[in-house]
Chains A and B, each alone.
Chain A
Amino acid sequence: MKRYMLKRILFSIFSLLVVVATVMLLVYTLIERSVIFQMDDVWNKKNANDRTAYEYVQYQKFGYLEYNDYASFLKTKYEALYGADYTKNEDFKADLAAIQDENTYLENASVQEFIAENEANGYKQTYLQPVRSSAGKVKKGGNAYLLAVRELSPFVRLWKYITHLITIETTNDVKDETLTDRYIRVEKDPYSGLFAVVGSGTTHKYLLYFDGRFPFIHQNFLHLNLGTSFTKYRGSEITQVISTPTGNQIKTETQYPAQIGTDQYVTTAIDFHTLRYNPNPRNAKEMEQYPDQYTAYSYKIGGLSMIENSFVAGIIATIIAYLLGLPLGIMMARHKDGLFDKIGNGYIIFIMAVPALAYIFIFASIGTSLFGLPYKFANAQVKALAYFLPIISLALPHMGSLMKWMRRYMIDQMNSDYVKFARAEGLSEGEIFRKHISKNAMIYLVHGIPANILGCLTGAIITERVYAMPGVGNLLTAAINGHDNGIIVAVTVFYTSLSIISVILGDLLLAKYDPRISLSSSKGGGR
C-alpha cells in the first residue's frame, strides 16, 4: 500500500510537471507576444525607440526574455567609482551620450566593455538607432538605446518557476551584516496571549502564531508562489491575491511592539503579526514604536478573501446538494415509474439538458422578483443574503446530478441477490432500501466526494459572474482576456493539483468505504 501510494504521488508530480510545461509552452510560444500591448495605454503614448525599449521592459516582466540596459550598466560602473553623485561626472556623461551617434558608438570604450561582458554571458546586443527627421533632428522618443537581450528558453523558464514555487524562510533571509543575533525560538505572544514562533533574520517576525481569524493558526515558514500577475493585479503574487480579505479595515486598540508593558495604547488597523523586515533605517518615530528592524506591516482587513468567498458558497451548496439529492434519489428509485419518479426525472432532464447559464438566470430572475433577494453582490444591503442565490444556483444542478446517479445505482442494485435474500428473511422494504441498497449504491458516489469538496476552492465561473461575486472562479477567464500569462500558469497549477489530489483522496475514501476494493493490487483489467 505504501509503495503504491508513493508511486501514485510520484506519478502525480510528474503529470503536474508535464501539464505546467505544456501550458507554459502554449502560452509563451504559441501566442503572439505583442498582444500584451493591445490594451496598454503607456505603450500607446510612447513613440519610436522609447516604445521598443518599453516593450523589452514588459517582455522581461512577463518572463519572455532577459535584457541588460547600457544606461544601467554605466550607472553601476560609475557608482562604484564616484559614489552617489556619479551623474555629474564628465566621463559618465560622455559615455552616456556616445550611443546617440550610430556611426561612432562602437568606438567608445564603455560600449565595447558592455558588449563584451554581455556576449560572454550569452546576451545578444541590440542597438536601436536614433530616429531622425529629414532635418537631422532626433524625433520624439527617437533616442538611441543599447541593449543586450537573451531569450529565455522554455526549460529555463520552467526550471525557474519550479525552483521558486516554494520558498522556506530561514534566519539567513535578511542580507544585513550588522544583524548578528539570528534565531528562531518560541516566545510568549503579547498579541494573542498564547505562544508564537518568532524569528530574527527571517523575512517575517512571526513565523507561527494564533489569532482570531480563520483558520486561527497561521504560519510563515513556507510560502507558495504560484506565479505573479502582470496586468490584472499588477505585480502581486496570485496566492496573495486570492487569500487576502477584500473587506474594510478593522481598527482595534493595541500597542506597538516597543510599547508593550507601558500604558500607551493606539487605535489602529495594523496587524502586528504580519511584521516584516525593513532594510531602511528606522526614523525617530519608529525608534520609539519598534524594538528592531521589523517595521513593515499589513493591515487587519475584515470580510472574506476571494477563495474564502468561493469556498463558503461552494461548500454550503455541496452540503445542501448531498443532504437533499441522495434521499430524493433513493425515494425516486423506491417509487420507480410513480408520480414522484416522473417529477424527479423531469427536473433531472431540465437541469442536465438546459445550458447552465440559462437556468442560473432563471433562478436569478425568480429569486429577485418573487422573493426580493439581492441580485448583484455589491448592491446587497445585508451581505449574508447575497450568498443566497449563488448557493441555490450551485446546489440545484449538483442535486440534480446526484439524484440521477443515486436513482440509477439504486435501481441497478434492486434486483441483486442480496436484496431478494433480505426480502426472504422478512426485512421491511424501508429497511432494505435504507440499510442495504443505499449503502451499496453509495459506493459509486463516494469517489466523487473529495473532488466536490476541493472543487469548491476553484470557484464557479458562471455563478460568480452572474451575481458579481468576488470569488476565484473568474481568475482564469479574466487572465485569458487580459493576457496575464502569470495568472494562467498559476491557475493551471492550482486547478491541476486540486484535481490530482481529489482523485487520490477519492480512491482512498473508496477503499475505506468498501473493504472489498484494494488499491495496490489493481493489476486485473477491471477498473
Chain B
Amino acid sequence: MSDISSKDFQFIDINTIQAERITAPRYSYWASVFRVFFRKKINIVLITLFIILIVSTFVIPAFAPYRPYENITDAKTFNLSPGKAMDYFGGFSFKWIFGTGQMGNSIFYGIMASARTSLVLAVICAAINMTIGIILGAVWGYSKKFDAVMLVIYNIIANVPYILVISVLVYIIGAGFWSFIFALTITGWLGIAYFFRTQVLIIRDREYSLASRCLGTPIPRMISKNILPFLTSVIVTLLATELPSYIGMEVFLSYIGVGLSAEVPSLGRMIQEAQASFLIYPWEFWPPVAIAAAITIILYVLGQNLADASDPRTHM
C-alpha cells in the first residue's frame, strides 16, 4: 500500500445544483410509448394503410363527389358488373372499378363517401362518449355520494337494451347525421363511465392516493394527477374497442332500418341495399363489407397494440 498524502486530496465546495441532478436515464412516457409501438413492424404497415385509407376517403369524394342518382334515367346502367360497366362507360376508369349499383351509381365512389361518413361518425361518437364517460366515471368512482346516486341511475338505464334506446330515439327524433350521433351518445357514455368507475375505485384507496388526500390535495387534482395517468392504458384499450364499434353499430342500425337517412352516404345503407341480391350482384355487396371490415380491423389492431405500448411495464 502506497502512502497517501494530503496532496492527493482537494476541497470541493457544496454545489446545490449538481446535488439535485439524478443520474438515471431520462424517461419520457410518450416517447417510450411510441418507441415500443413502432418496434412492431405490423404497426407501421397498418398505419401506412390507415393513412392511405383516410387520405383517399377524404380526397376522392372532394374531387369526385358521389352522385348516386347521376344515371337514374338510364336503366341500362343498373347493376352492371365491373367489366360490363367499363365497357358501357368507355374504357378503364377507377370510377367503375367495382361496377354499378341498383341505380347506376358508382360503387367505388359510394364506398369512399360512405367510409368517410363512418370514420367521422366513429370519431365524433367516440370523442363524446369517451370524454363524458371518463370524466363522469372518474368523479363517480371517486365520490361516494355521487356513487350512490349514479348506481341507481345506472341500474335502471343499464336494464334497457342499448339497441332499444337507440332505435326508439332514432324513431323519435328522425334519422339525420346529428340526430344519429345524439342517439348513439345519449346513453352510450354510461357503460364507459361504469367501467371507469370500477377502475378508479381500485386505485382510489391505494396508499399513495391516501397520502395525497392526507396532504389536502383537492379532488380535481387527485383525479387528474393521481388517478388518470395510471389509467392511460385502460383508456387506450377502451378507445381501441369503442372506435370500431360505432362503425359496426352504424352498419347494423342501417341494416335494420333505423340508421342514417337516405341523403347521407353510409356503409350500412349500401350493405342494406345490396344484401337482398348479394348472390346475384356480389360486386355491390362485398366492397362496402370489405371496407367496413378493413377499417374496423385496422383500428382495432392499432388500438390494441397502442394500448399494449402505453402500459409502462412494457417500456423496459
Contact = CB atoms under 8 A, between A and B. Distances in A.
Interface of A: 11, 15-16, 18-19, 22-23, 26-27, 30-31, 349-350, 352-358, 361-362, 365, 368, 375, 458, 461-462, 465-466, 474, 476-477, 480-481, 488, 491-492, 495-496, 499-500, 503, 525-526
A524 to B, nearest CB: 10
A495 B161 contact: yes
Contact of B244 (A23, A353, A365): A353
Nearest to A23: B168
Contacts of B241: 352
B255 interface: yes
B17 interface: no
- Output the residue of A18, A354, A491, A500 with the most chain B CB within 10 A: A354
B256 A354 contact: no
A466 B297 contact: no
A357 B171 contact: no
Given A476-B164, A499-B161, A526-B201, A465 B256 contact: yes
A474 B251 CA distance: 16
Contact of A461 (B173, B256, B279, B301): B256
Interface of B: 155-156, 159-161, 163-164, 167-169, 171-173, 201, 204-205, 241, 244, 247-248, 251-252, 255-258, 268, 271, 275, 278-279, 285, 289, 292-293, 296-297, 299-301, 304
B161 A480 contact: no
Given A11-B155, A30-B172, A357-B252, A495 B164 contact: yes
B225 to A, nearest CB: 21
5 contacts: A354-B296, A358-B251, A462-B256, A480-B171, A525-B205
B160 A354 contact: no
Contacts of A488: 168
Contacts of B289: 355, 357-358, 361-362
Contacts of B251: 355, 357-358
Given A355-B296, A480-B258, A15 B155 contact: yes
B23 to A, nearest CB: 32
A476 B247 contact: no
A462 B168 contact: no
A356 B248 contact: yes
Given A15-B155, A352-B241, A477-B257, 12 more contacts: A31-B171, A353-B244, A357-B248, A357-B251, A357-B271, A365-B278, A480-B171, A480-B257, A481-B258, A488-B168, A495-B161, A526-B201
Contacts of A496: 159-161
Q: Which of B159, B248, B304 has the most CB of A within 10 A?
A: B159
B285 A349 contact: no
Nearest to B271: A357
Contacts of B155: 11, 15
Given A31-B172, A465-B256, A353 B293 contact: yes
A381 to B, nearest CB: 18
Contacts of A15: 155-156, 159
A495 B162 CA distance: 11
Nearest to A358: B289
A476 B167 contact: yes
Nearest to B291: A358
A477 B167 contact: yes
A301 B293 CA distance: 43
A26 B168 contact: yes
A450 B258 CA distance: 29
A189 B142 CA distance: 65
A353 B299 contact: yes
Contacts of B159: 15-16, 19, 496, 499-500, 503
Contacts of B285: 361
Nearest to A503: B159
